[in-house]
Chains A and B, each alone.
Chain A
């Protein structure tokens, strides 16, 4: 059974650019949640999607957005990148909305120059 797949694994961008990260959940899982991990702030919840709808949102600016497709794959977009957006972005999948994140991907390492 394939795990949670995140692409790309690494990204380098410059300030002001935008970026899109992708997450494919475990087959059958319908909920996808996103997290930002930085040395200073630790792991912080970004948002959760279920049935193509954002169900929960963390305390991040509107530059961070996402969406979920009918096959449960999710994308996260960050616009107008700032240096502080450099982080490891993790996604997790679970069966249902409100479940604890069960399976995490290996993450996308985003570096902003």
Chain B
């Protein structure tokens, strides 16, 4: 069965520091991969997606993610975190028109 694992339940970073959120998937082939962000009072928002091609994808709000087939990973990164980035982040995969979310990583940003 397909699965998406986000090993870090909660991460705290200082404003201006770099960020990496981990995501691993379990699937026989390369699925479509996504990152979403859920901010308090706002709905889920698509940050970026990977279908094929260049393994480094750029998203909105300065986020990027790198697909590594050998590690079955799709980690989200940002070079310099802003206080407004504090939110819940979800990795997701789509296989055969089924959509699966990871359990999420809660990001706290300290001044």
Interface residues of chain A, those whose CB is within 8 Å of chain B, are 3-4, 33, 35, 42-45, 48, 55-56, 58, 90, 92, 97-98, 100-107
Contact = CB atoms under 8 A, between A and B. Distances in A.
Closest 8 CB pairs of A and B: A43-B101, A104-B43, A104-B44, A42-B103, A98-B97, A106-B43, A45-B99, A56-B97
A107 B104 contact: no
B83 to A, nearest CB: 22
Contacts of B90: 42-43
A8 B102 CA distance: 27
Contacts of B98: 45, 56, 58
9 contacts: A35-B101, A43-B104, A45-B98, A48-B97, A55-B97, A92-B44, A103-B43, A104-B45, A105-B43
Interface in B26-41: 32, 34, 41
B42 interface: yes
Interface string B83-111: 00000001010100111111110000000
A102 B43 contact: no
B46 interface: yes
Contacts of A42: 90, 101-104
Interface string B67-91: 0000000000000000000000010
Contacts of B103: 42
A55 B99 CA distance: 13
B59 to A, nearest CB: 13
Contact of A100 (B34, B45, B104): B34
B44 A90 contact: yes
A102 B46 contact: yes
B33 to A, nearest CB: 10
Nearest to B102: A42
Contacts of B44: 90, 92, 101, 104
Given A4-B43, A43-B101, A55-B97, 7 more contacts: A35-B101, A42-B90, A43-B104, A97-B97, A100-B32, A100-B34, A100-B99
A20 to B, nearest CB: 20
